[in-house]
Amino acid sequence: MIDSKPIEKTAQLISSRRPVVALSGAGISKESGIYTYRDPGGLWDRYPEGSSGGILAVLRNHPEEGAKILKKFLAGLRSAKPNLGHLALVHLEKMGYLRAVITQNIDNLHIEAGSSRVLELHGNFLRLRCTNCGKKRKLDREEYFVMVAEILDRLRRLTMEDLFSQLPRCSCGGNSRIDFVGFGELVQDFPEAIAEAETCGLMLILGTSGVVHPAASIPLLAKSKGAIVVEVNPNRTALTEHVDLFLRGKTGEVLPQVVEVLYIAS
């Protein structure tokens, strides 16, 4: 059990400083069983290209391991379900406190949990985007995983570009790609995320390392505009020294307790 005093303080701040906006990172997805790039044995650990070019660079330089790498990632993604942290954010929204979730995650779990306004800075792995007209198409979850598994079984050597070449074409005739943001690509939904940060009363930082930009700048922007910034993380991060309140713990353990205090007080 987390110390009740910071839990109660967080609940008080949320109640008095609405609207609340949350920024989530890989930590909240890890609680659903999705491994992160920075985990021991993860891509950044095992491949030198990972830290500078992400999964695209790893696959490009190791095509013989491409199918294996993607199958491992997709297995975690396929089995993952929204956890108590995701669901607590939905409760905060239904109670009228939370206005939006800004996420660096590409796993669709905030949407599956029921959050209605989710700004996906790094895209969504379960969505296709046409490289010609830009049209986006969300696939049925099971349809998506069956399709990608069949492609991976056909290809012995695999880069992400090889995978993209096997995806169904857009109705305009253009090629499709999985709609996630690779290293060096522009993030998505950023103007909307900036607007949320500039106008919120309180920002929750949930499970992000605070080192990936431009996402890491969002809490600092919110603070510069007068928002209270509260961080929930198992460990201190690059952002901790800038926050108003730090709660050590997992999102799925801390946020449900905050929600419970808010329910009792309402």
d(CA 232, CA 230): 7
Catalytic one among 86, 122, 213, 242? Answer: 122
**139-144 contacts at long range (C-beta below 8 A, 24 or more positions apart):** 141/108
Residue 8 buriedness (CB in 10 A; 0-12 / 13-18 / 19+): middle
Residue 206's identity, in one-letter code, is L
* Residue owning tokens 């079984």: 153
Task: Give the gyration radius of the chain's Cα atoms.
Answer: 19
Q: What is the DSSP letter of 239?
A: T
Could you say which DSSP state residue 234 is in? S
Is the Cα torsion angle 264, 243, 117, 209 positive or negative in sign? negative
138's enclosing H/E stretch is strand 136-138
- Separation CA 23–CA 40 (nearest Å): 24
Among 30, 174, 189, CA closest to 122: 189
Euclidean distance between CA atoms 207 and 25, whole angstroms: 5
213 is catalytic: no
Please give the positions annotated as active site.
122
